[in-house]
Amino acid sequence: MVDYIWIIGLHVTAVTVWLAGMFVAAILISALAPATAVETTVAESGSARLLRAAARWDRRVTTPAMGLAWLLGLTLVVVGGWGLEPWLVAKLAIVVLLSALHGKLAAGLRRLAEAEGRPGARPVSRLLRFSPLAIIAGGIAIVTLVVVKPY
């Protein structure tokens, strides 16, 4: 059986890749979405190419890292014999919210990349401009809950 510490290491690595990928997507959407962009449009071919590359990265790396983080995290709960401790429930709630945000970011990347030359394309939610902050706050909250286990 794989040592518990190796599962923790792989889990932390998967979470790091997942959150980093989300952060890049969030920054791109904040910078390039027509609703939030300053002096730039998605119709610029370089921006559309960058968005398509980011969407491809999300599909191939960020999303699988999220899945692996979930799988390894649930494995840690079972192998570690943790119950439904309050800090763990709070952490899981934040992880569910970050997973939902990842879905919104992935859809936003696809929508922006496909919007090139399509004036009637569905816009990306203006709320996504706050997603970089939400990712950082979620990451800090999760690390704090795991390390401190305040309750």
pLDDT of 9 strictly over 50: yes
The owner of tokens 């599962």 is 7
**What are residue 95's phi and psi, to 5 degrees?**
-65, -40
Nearest Cα neighbor of 58 from 40, 127, 50, 83 is 50
What average pLDDT does range 62-91 have in this prediction?
95
Neighbours of 71 (CB within 10 A): 14
Tens digits of residue pLDDT in 83-119: 889 999 999 999 999 999 999 999 999 888 887 666 6
Number of Cα atoms under 13 Å in the Cβ half of residue 117: 3
Which pLDDT score is estimated for 17? 97
Question: Does the pLDDT of residue 120 top 60, yes or no?
Answer: yes
Which residues in the chain belong to E strands, given as ranges?
Answer: none
Q: Where are the beta strands (DSSP E) in 2-137?
A: none
Residues 7-26, mean pLDDT to the nearest whole number: 96
- pLDDT for 119: 67
**Structural domain of residue 90, as residue ranges?**
4-148
Residue 20 CA to residue 2 CA, distance in Å, equals 26
pLDDT at residue 111, as a whole number: 87
**Longest Cα pair distance anywhere in the chain, in angstroms?**
55
Burial class (CB in 10 A: 0-12, 13-18, 19+), 151: exposed
Amino acid (1-letter code) at residue 77: V
* pLDDT of the residue at 16: 97
Cα distance between residue 99 and residue 53, in whole Å: 21
For the chain, the domain total comes to 1
> Is 143 within 8 Å of 106 (Cβ atoms)?
no
Residue 44: the pLDDT is 52
Which pair of tokens denotes residue 1? 């059986």
Q: What is the pLDDT of residues 17-64, one digit of tens each?
A: 999 999 999 999 988 876 555 444 445 567 888 888 999 999 999 999
Tell me: the pLDDT tens digits for 138-147? 999 999 999 9
